[in-house]
Structure 1
């Protein structure tokens, strides 16, 4: 079992890429095996097409990249998401990853009481985000899109547990030493 990193930022000159590099450095130092799912580099199409929807209710897909991602997730014991918060929410490519990869009978099944998650073999999940907003403000937002929706509903709904969220606030407008401290925080956290 390995660590899987889901990276959702299109620019490899971004601070999100620096975070990815710090995570990889830490995993290498610990001699931990890992997979990287770089959604933008993979040219992942996050849009559900008519052909996708025809199979969706059965939990099936014809998208070879989705099938590949599902195989990776089957071999995952630790999951790390790295992405920017745009418009107070996930980037579209990551939302599409959830929509297309986390299919019925792969990541959950339905019961009369709601979803029963199937990804319980993943023991630890870390969500690392960047934003221009302070973390307290994101937590204050109605419904809290990251903690309240993405973590507590979506990720827990597919069986993920032991989920931690780290946010780099004022990422673009803040000072470089703050970003450097955040990278050290990540390395000590992992």
Structure 2
């Protein structure tokens, strides 16, 4: 499979960067090709341009400002996202990636009758999120209702592709995680990536 591995963290020595390295190594060892898209290192601008937003509901979305990233998504068979959860949500740069790259005519079509959007990412068969959160499991799941998983699975993934292999692997309570807990999580990442 051709995997687009999207990393969204500003620090090159972050735990998220380590997760991305482990996932990439395991995927490549299993024979998959990996295209690493490090949003910060590639200076991705998360802001929708005037032209992009102005063409959002027209016949042709203006993809000129994001053409390279769009092409990389369209060339992939699978998508693996690596990011921390901040305030129970995506980092702004990852939200901007969805806004600019998962756009009309690319990830979905607008229903001309105003109904449900029509999925277009037929090439994407795998949609995984490898994430961390500073909150304990019970806060994320019981108090907040796991908003990031809901947005990814029921919103973005379900509206843009069908029949996906969806997985979300999270390390909770990251701010207090011991070295042993972090190493155990990296092993879980390796096992998951190696199973593909």
TM above 0.5, one fold?
yes
Moved more, 140-149 or 36-45: 140-149
Distance 1:85 1:114 in 2: 28
Contact 2:80 2:128 in 1 (8 A): yes
Moved more, 87-96 or 42-51: 42-51
2:17 maps to 17
* TM-superposition CA deviations, 1:148-190 (whole Å, max 9, x none): 1232112211115221111011223210100000000111112
Q: 1:60-71 to 2 correspondence within 5 Å?
A: 60-63=62-65, 66-71=66-71
**Which sections of structure 1, spanning at least 5 residues, go unmatched?**
none
Distance 1:187 1:35 in 2: 17
State the secondary structure of the residue aligned to 2:55.
helix
Distance 2:143 2:101 in 1: 28
2:81 maps to 81
2:132 maps to 130
Distance 2:177 2:22 in 1: 19
| TM-align CA RMSD | 1.6
1:109 maps to 109
Contact 1:55 1:61 in 2 (8 A): no
* TM-superposition CA deviations, 1:137-157 (whole Å, max 9, x none): 222345632121232112211
Change (3 A) 1:32 1:95: same
State the secondary structure of the residue aligned to 1:172.
helix
The offset of 1:62, in angstroms, is: 2.4
Contact 2:137 2:173 in 1 (8 A): no
1:145 maps to 147
Distance 1:62 1:55 in 2: 11
Distance 1:158 1:136 in 2: 30
Distance 2:68 2:5 in 1: 14
1:186 aligns with 2:189: yes
Distance 2:151 2:31 in 1: 33
**Which sections of structure 2, spanning at least 5 residues, go unmatched?**
none
Query: Structure 1 residue runs of 4+, over 6 Å off?
Result: none
1:165 maps to 168
State the secondary structure of the residue aligned to 1:122.
coil
2:92 maps to 92
The offset of 1:55, in angstroms, is: 2.3
